[in-house]
């Protein structure tokens, strides 16, 4: 009977993920390896960009063979939905023939709340400038270790984002990020000190979109999903 109840709970989860966080100890089907769990909001499954927009309307990035690739000059790719505390999974790839130096080598990023960037870059084998390396909380916290793969190989970010809390526009609690890259911990509740690479104030809303950055490089993505998380007490 208990197994039947658990299965029913799984089957009752709405398509595309729940409207809000799943309660503690709820039954969640993790799915087969490489697939999103049953409570995930799937943002890109290799088919279309229906859950994304650009700053000027419809997105212009390329979708081909199940892969999403930056179309340089078409602008950032922004989620249509807004999110607060989340677990974010995405896979990314620097083009195999990447050229240039420093931040010109396959640059992109994930801007949580359109303000807090986790860097994407070719940092394979590199130890210099860790605050702007792949996986960095841009210019605020360096990755604990460099676990980057070679350009042309797929890499994975699993990010737990705890959004900052505001009261009447005043910051009451800093946000944090915990990040695993390729299965290895690179940030352990790193504190977000404000908007990365800027002193402009941030919006106080608990739920906001995030975006994938068009920085002029043909970085590719696949298998993007989020889980909405219950707030920490």
Q: So what's the pLDDT on residue 11? A: 39
Q: Is 29 among the domain residues?
A: no
- pLDDT at position 57 is 85
Domain housing 9: 2-24+34-228
β-strands 165-167, 52-53: how paired? unpaired
- 64/66 Cα distance (integer angstroms): 5
> For the chain (length 233 residues), average pLDDT per consecutive 10?
41 55 86 93 97 93 98 97 98 94 93 98 96 98 98 98 96 98 98 94 97 97 97 81
Rounded distance between C-alpha atoms, residue 215 and residue 134, angstroms: 14
Q: Work out how many domains the chain is built from and give that number.
A: 1
233 occurs within a structural domain: no
Is the pTM higher than 0.85? The answer reads yes
**Cβ neighbours of residue 182 under 8 Å, at least 6 residues apart?**
147, 148, 149, 155, 156
CATH of the domain at 83: 2.60.120.560
Please tell me the predicted confidence (pLDDT) of residue 14: 45
């Amino acid at each position: 009977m208990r197994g039947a109840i658990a299965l029913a709970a799984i089957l009752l989860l709405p398509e595309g993920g729940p409207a809000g966080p799943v309660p503690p100890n709820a039954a969640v089907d993790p799915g087969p390896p490489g697939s999103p769990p049953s409570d995930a909001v799937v943002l890109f499954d290799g088919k279309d960009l229906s859950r994304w927009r650009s700053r000027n309307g419809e997105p212009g990035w390329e979708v081909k063979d199940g892969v999403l690739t930056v179309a340089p000059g078409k602008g950032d790719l922004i989620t249509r939905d807004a999110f607060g505390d989340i677990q974010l999974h995405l896979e990314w790839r620097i083009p195999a023939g990447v050229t240039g130096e420093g931040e010109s080598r396959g640059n992109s990023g994930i801007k949580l709340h359109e303000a807090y960037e986790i860097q994407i870059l070719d940092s394979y084998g590199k130890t210099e400038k860790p605050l702007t390396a792949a996986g960095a909380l841009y210019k605020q916290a360096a990755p604990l270790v460099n676990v980057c793969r070679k350009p042309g190989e797929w890499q994975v970010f699993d990010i737990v984002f705890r959004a900052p809390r505001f009261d009447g526009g005043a910051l009451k609690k800093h946000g944090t990020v915990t990040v695993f890259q390729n299965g290895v911990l690179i940030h352990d509740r790193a504190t977000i000190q404000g908007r990365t690479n800027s002193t402009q104030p941030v919006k106080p809303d608990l739920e906001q979109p995030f975006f994938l950055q068009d920085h002029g490089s043909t970085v590719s993505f696949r298998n993007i999903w989020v889980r909405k998380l219950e707030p920490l007490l």
